[in-house]
């Protein structure tokens, strides 16, 4: 770690400690936990943009897929729903698989004029057939005790497994999406991924049989003990007595510390692995590919396949972060995903931190999340000062005090623009400096 990085991370630690000292330790730990998750997400985007130069603005979709995995792994299965519509769901899945197989076969065996017509016809038939089975099955499932269930449920396993599953889900989705979209030019890829992430969210929000949609799934199980159980446990009471603290607030701090330990482990593991990848021949090849895809192709590198690798790897990391986030929240809320928060904010983290540098992304994740949270009270104070000379019930003053929460969006844009203007390489620039601006055809 360079002295510069050490200094900046130390400054970040001081900021968090100051929050603990002056606001409260609960707030500081809450921010810290989300900083860790944000850092993991930023690392995922860094693999795509920093390593491979892929402009993916669909981060939100992969985070949501990770969240879905957390929910599906941890929630117990709903037996009644499976008997009501499980068979229909499996059947419609089989119809879709058969359609896909038939389309692939038709495209392989038929000659061009017939091929297009057959593809369209097969897709249409498959779509209508699947819908015919799917509709009633979905309705049946959604009618099973709709107030409490109305969905198939999940596997009922410990939620911590979902971090891996979330990564795998996101990787699978990314493979499929990358196959379609990665051939596109930078700007088309951006629009395409933006669209895909909106579609993923629309599916999660509307397919109630799978996700309960906007009715949310709450009360997911936890990888750490619950506060109420801790307050009963004798070893915990002993511990708090020995430390001389009140067990009730301490239990909440303790739980947050447990989360922080788990998240920090994941973050550390990912950073170490990504650093090794960066310094490996694979990393060198990715940089060559990013800086000059044509030259890399001329050297015999399979550009599209390598870009797909980076896309899948980055998305998988984002998926892990998404699963961790849902774990921390204890609930899956498809309605809460918003591209400003889950896509573009992550991009601000990567750019400010320094694209291509893993430690930079971690720092960016910490700093931007910290500012995102703290901008709200700071905005309010700022508005108070600005409007302190105006009478208290003046309409504009009331309005601006209410609006101060939105100032943080403004602040994030400002930071991004300033960063790109004055230190385009980020706070921690990539070690191998880019002498020439990135080549984009």
Q: Is 70 in contact with 326 (CB distance < 8 Å)? A: yes
Query: Can you list the alpha helix ranges (DSSP code H) found in 244-344?
Result: 247-279, 281-291, 293-298, 303-329, 339
Residue 212, SS3? coil
Containing 153, the helix (H) or strand (E) segment is none
Task: Count CB atoms within 10 A of the CB of residue 63.
Answer: 33
CB of 250 to other proteins, least distance (A): 38
CB of 180 to other proteins, least distance (A): 6
Complex with other proteins: residue 281 or 437, whichever CB lies closer: 437
Complex with other proteins: residue 260 or 411, whichever CB lies closer: 411
Complex with other proteins: residue 261 or 413, whichever CB lies closer: 413
CB of 11 to other proteins, least distance (A): 23
| CA 277 vs CA 19, 101, 282, 301, 429: distances in Å | 35, 36, 7, 17, 18
Task: Count CB atoms within 10 A of the CB of residue 164.
Answer: 15
Complex with other proteins: residue 125 or 199, whichever CB lies closer: 199
Complex with other proteins: residue 89 or 345, whichever CB lies closer: 345
Complex with other proteins: residue 326 or 343, whichever CB lies closer: 343
Question: Six-digit token pair at 338?
Answer: 């918003």
Complex with other proteins: residue 7 or 410, whichever CB lies closer: 410
Q: Is 401 in contact with 384 (CB distance < 8 Å)? A: yes
Residue located via tokens 């709903």: 78
Which residues sit at the interface with other proteins, rule CB under 8 A? Answer: 53, 55, 57, 135, 180-181, 184, 186-188, 190-192, 194-196, 198-199, 202-203, 205-206, 339-340, 344, 347-348, 351, 399-400, 402-404, 406-417, 420-421, 424, 437-440
CB of 433 to other proteins, least distance (A): 16
| CA 129 vs CA 94, 122, 140, 210, 306: distances in Å | 11, 10, 18, 20, 37
In sequence order, the β-bridge partners of residue 217 are 332
CB of 387 to other proteins, least distance (A): 13
d(CA 355, CA 287): 12
Complex with other proteins: residue 112 or 437, whichever CB lies closer: 437
CB of 290 to other proteins, least distance (A): 11
- Contacts (Cβ under 8 Å, ≥6 apart) of 125: 99
Q: Is 218 in contact with 207 (CB distance < 8 Å)? A: no
Complex with other proteins: residue 167 or 314, whichever CB lies closer: 314
Sign of dihedral through CA atoms 207, 210, 212, 218?
negative
Containing 332, the helix (H) or strand (E) segment is strand 331-332
The distance from CA 384 to its chain's CA centroid, rounded to whole angstroms, is 35
d(CA 425, CA 56): 19
CB of 254 to other proteins, least distance (A): 37
- Contacts (Cβ under 8 Å, ≥6 apart) of 336: none
Complex with other proteins: residue 219 or 437, whichever CB lies closer: 437
CB of 69 to other proteins, least distance (A): 22
DSSP 437: P
Question: Six-digit token pair at 323?
Answer: 């699963």
Complex with other proteins: residue 328 or 419, whichever CB lies closer: 419
CB of 6 to other proteins, least distance (A): 28
């Amino acid at each position: 770690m360079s002295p510069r990085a050490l200094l900046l991370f130390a400054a970040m630690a001081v900021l968090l400690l100051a929050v603990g000292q002056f606001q409260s330790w609960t707030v500081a730990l809450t921010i810290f936990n989300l900083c860790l998750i944000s850092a993991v997400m930023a690392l995922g985007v860094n693999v795509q943009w920093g390593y491979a130069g892929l402009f993916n603005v669909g981060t939100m979709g992969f985070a949501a897929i990770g969240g879905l995995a957390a929910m599906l792994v941890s929630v117990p299965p709903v037996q009644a729903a499976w008997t009501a519509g499980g068979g229909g769901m499996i059947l419609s899945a089989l119809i879709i698989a058969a359609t896909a197989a038939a389309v692939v076969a038709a495209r392989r065996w038929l000659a061009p004029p017939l091929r297009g017509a057959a593809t369209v016809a097969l897709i249409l038939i498959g779509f209508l057939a699947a819908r015919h089975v799917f509709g009633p099955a979905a309705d049946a499932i959604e009618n099973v005790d709709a107030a409490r269930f109305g969905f198939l449920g999940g596997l009922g396993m410990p939620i911590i497994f979902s971090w891996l599953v979330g990564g795998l889900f996101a990787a699978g989705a990314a493979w499929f999406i990358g196959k379609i979209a990665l051939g596109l030019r930078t700007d088309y890829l951006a629009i395409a991924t933006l669209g895909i992430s909106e579609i993923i969210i629309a599916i999660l929000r509307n397919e109630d049989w799978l996700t309960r949609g906007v009715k949310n799934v709450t009360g997911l199980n936890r990888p750490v003990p619950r506060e109420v159980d801790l307050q009963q446990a004798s070893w915990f009471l002993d511990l708090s007595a020995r430390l001389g603290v009140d067990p009730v607030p301490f239990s909440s701090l303790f739980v947050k510390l447990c989360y922080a330990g788990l998240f920090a482990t994941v973050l550390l593991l990912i950073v170490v692995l990504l650093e090794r990848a960066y310094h490996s021949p694979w990393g060198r090849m990715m940089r060559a590919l990013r800086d000059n895809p044509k030259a890399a192709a001329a050297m015999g590198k399979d550009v599209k396949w390598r870009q797909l690798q980076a896309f899948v790897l980055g998305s998988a990391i984002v998926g892990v972060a998404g699963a961790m986030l849902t774990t921390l929240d204890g609930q899956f809320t498809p309605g809460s995903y918003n591209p400003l928060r889950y896509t573009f904010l992550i991009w601000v983290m990567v750019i400010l931190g320094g694209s291509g540098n893993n430690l930079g992304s971690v720092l960016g994740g910490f700093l931007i999340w910290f500012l995102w949270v703290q901008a709200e009270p700071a905005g309010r104070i700022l508005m108070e000062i600005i409007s302190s000379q105006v009478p208290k019930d003046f309409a504009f003053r009331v309005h601006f005090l209410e609006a101060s929460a939105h100032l943080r969006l403004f602040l994030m844009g400002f930071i991004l623009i300033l960063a790109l203007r004055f230190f385009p390489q980020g706070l921690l620039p990539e070690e191998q400096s880019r002498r020439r601006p990135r080549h984009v055809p």
